Amino acid sequence: MAANTLGEVANLLEDALNIHQSVRQVVLSTQEGVVVASVSKAEDMDPRLLATVSAALQWAGATTLSHIDRGRPTVMLQSTKIEQVLTILQPQYQLTVVLSRGDDVDLDVGGIIPAFQSIATRIQLLMGASSDYGGEGILGRIVKAVPEVSQAILLTMDGLPLGAVGFENHIEVAALASSMFANGLTFSDHTDAIIVSSEVTDLLVAKVDDKRLLLVACHGSDSGELCQRVREILLSYP
């Protein structure tokens, strides 16, 4: 089932790659910034970088919009002098498309967004229907497996939140966690976790992968044990 689903997804990504001559790369990833699949016309950007940045922008955009109205972002477009990066947002996944300005300087991206949205929706339905890909992300897994944890943030190495549970000031906390881990890396590139303990709380900042960190606040007399359970989940996370 997993192989069949990935095969169908790969075909849809190839369709997206051929929507317009300016399309250089297409990356499908989760909203936590994990790459599911990627296709390109050349060796371009690291798909993990695109996935992580898109996830961070999605979270920042949603947070910003929440202070303005109740809407949630469905499309993001980042422009540079040489390319445009379009991200189509779905409930569980996001489709990130890199378009070269050199191939068509006068390209109206708005005119081809519906075509990418159609493909993104089909991928969401396809992946959501598969038991292999319909599960929760790392935050959901931790909160479900360790219900005593009520505060957690998934963030980029640079301190941009990708998701949060139980924090109102998640932007500030994520930035501080990133700074803390960066100091740990100064001591050793092999740092994989830092724990700061008080009488009532253990604060765990742990490496998820090369692009992401997880911050978890564990409270109570058994906070050390809770941190260990979270770390065990991270070690088993694909």
Q: Residues 102-139: pLDDT tens digits?
A: 756 667 888 899 999 999 988 887 776 654 555 557 88
The residues, ordered by sequence, that sit 6+ positions from 154 with a Cβ below 8 Å of its Cβ are: 32, 137, 138, 139, 161, 162, 163, 164, 208, 212, 213, 214
Query: Do 2-129 and 138-236 show the same overall fold?
Result: yes
Residue 79 CB coordination number (10 Å) = 12
Of 24, 28, 23, nearest to 11 (Cα)?
Answer: 28
pLDDT, average across residues 148-164: 87
Give SS3 for 111. Answer: helix
| Domain covering 2-129 assigned CATH 3.10.20.600 in the classification | no
pTM here?
0.71
Q: Is the pLDDT of residue 1 over 80?
A: no
The domains of the chain are located at: 2-129, 138-236
CATH architecture label of 138-236: 2-Layer Sandwich (3.30)
Q: Rounded to whole angstroms, what are the CA distances from 153 to 1, 43, 113, 118?
A: 32, 32, 31, 31
Of 13, 41, 11, nearest to 27 (Cα)?
Answer: 13
